[in-house]
Structure 1
Amino acid sequence: MAVCANIISRTKRGDGFVSIFLLRHGETDWNTIDRCQGHTDIPLNETGKKKIEQVAFTFKRNIGDIKYIVSSPLSRANESALIFSNSIGYKGEIIIDELFIERSFGLAEGLSQEEIKLKFPDFDVPEMESEKNVFSRVIQRLNYYDSIYYDVNILIVTHGAVLKTLVDNQTTYCGADINIVKSVPGGLFKVDLRNGEHQIKEIKVL
């Protein structure tokens, strides 16, 4: 069951490690034709559903259980969260979090990438959410979940542009190398948060 919920803040006890995993939603028909989705609510296709099932089964076998599942409100993310939760036998509620919604691409939504290049050659798209705003809302929320939970795995189902923004703006720990991350539908990633810095790592589960 998916619910809209405000998470009750609680005191974080001890130094328990919180593992936050980011899952990009499964494939949609618009993904297959490279059409810009943004806030446009496009459902998963059959390929997308099967990919999420595969990722979930492999996750449970190789990584373990999930204590909390959080999802963007868009149907392609929420459906991915439901499929994942059913596949691993998750009994909790799916928390709908507006701050993990896809970036709004304004007047570019519904256009193919070629059409966007022709219409907005400098990618100056009216009504598009800024990358700065996307990063601010997402990193704020990641830090929030990290601060209120302890000794748990958390799965957050989100979107390609959200992941891209985190990767483009990621920091490193002590100059460590950053992995090259390419987000594809159904891609799974782990986010490490430490002293205000973050690093995204792709997880090969298939």
Structure 2
Amino acid sequence: MHSIYFARHGETVWNVENKICGMTDSPLTEKGRQQARELGRKVKESGVRIDEILYSPLSRAADTAKAVAEATGLPARCEPRLREQCFGKYEGTPRDGAEFRLSKTHFADRYDGGESMMQLAQRIYNLLDELRQDENKTYLLVAHNGIARVVESYFHDMTNEEYSAAGIKNCELVEYHFE
């Protein structure tokens, strides 16, 4: 059995504005940059063994991962499959909109030009299956809240309602165990 760690990027401009980011590249705020530096310190001081950081190509996750790498000295590389889900017509709209909340429970819905939950799960599950096979390495994945939901569902049984409501805070660090 080995572990994998997951962290969400720091706070972004659109997080503050309560907008759905998705594939739209909303930058970190000053608070988000500080959260990323604090995450790096936390990882370094925790003594957890991490061999490599894999991060989403979107700048909010990349900048967070690079801050952690700088603080810890860990190697970091971009993993394109960790990009956030494309929410199509919902990007830039309120995160708590009733129509979006309902749409999140429709796993085959592509949001008029976006990516379905099923497509997202396929690419993340494929990545996690690969990382599971690499028993000699422990990874820190730095990505997004949508990715956090999929990772959580890979390791734990969830109802549709639990899945659509799941999420983690900015720069929260979660450990998972491959069995």
Q: Provide TM-score, normalisation by structure 1.
A: 0.72
CA distance in 1, matches of 2:40, 2:31: 14
Deviations along 1:119-157, one digit per CA (max 9) or x if unpaired, are x6842631231111111111110120221341x331111
| Partner SS, residue 192 of structure 1 | strand
CA distance in 2, matches of 1:71, 1:121: 27
CA distance in 2, matches of 1:71, 1:30: 20
CA distance in 2, matches of 1:121, 1:144: 31
Residue segments in structure 2 that go unaligned for 5+ positions in a row: 104-108, 158-164
Aligned to 2:138: 153
Q: Is the 8 A contact 1:18 1:154 kept in 2?
A: no
| Partner SS, residue 113 of structure 1 | coil
Aligned to 1:189: 174
Aligned to 2:121: 135
Aligned to 1:67: 51
Please report how far the alpha carbon of residue 28 of structure 1 lies from its aligned counterpart in structure 2 after TM superposition.
Answer: 0.3
Moved over 3 A (4+): 168-172
| Partner SS, residue 185 of structure 1 | coil
| Partner SS, residue 102 of structure 1 | coil
Matching residue within 112, 117, 120 for 2:98: 117
Q: Is the 8 A contact 1:143 1:193 kept in 2?
A: no
Aligned to 2:68: 84
Q: Is the 8 A contact 1:25 1:185 kept in 2?
A: yes
The percentage of counterpart residues that share the same residue type is: 25
CA distance in 1, matches of 2:68, 2:101: 38
Aligned to 2:88: 106
Q: Which has the larger radius of gyration?
A: 1
CA distance in 1, matches of 2:93, 2:56: 22
Q: Is the 8 A contact 2:125 2:154 kept in 1?
A: no
C-alpha RMSD of matched pairs (Å)? 2.3
Instruction: Give the structure with the higher percent strand.
Output: 1
Q: Provide TM-score, normalisation by structure 2.
A: 0.82
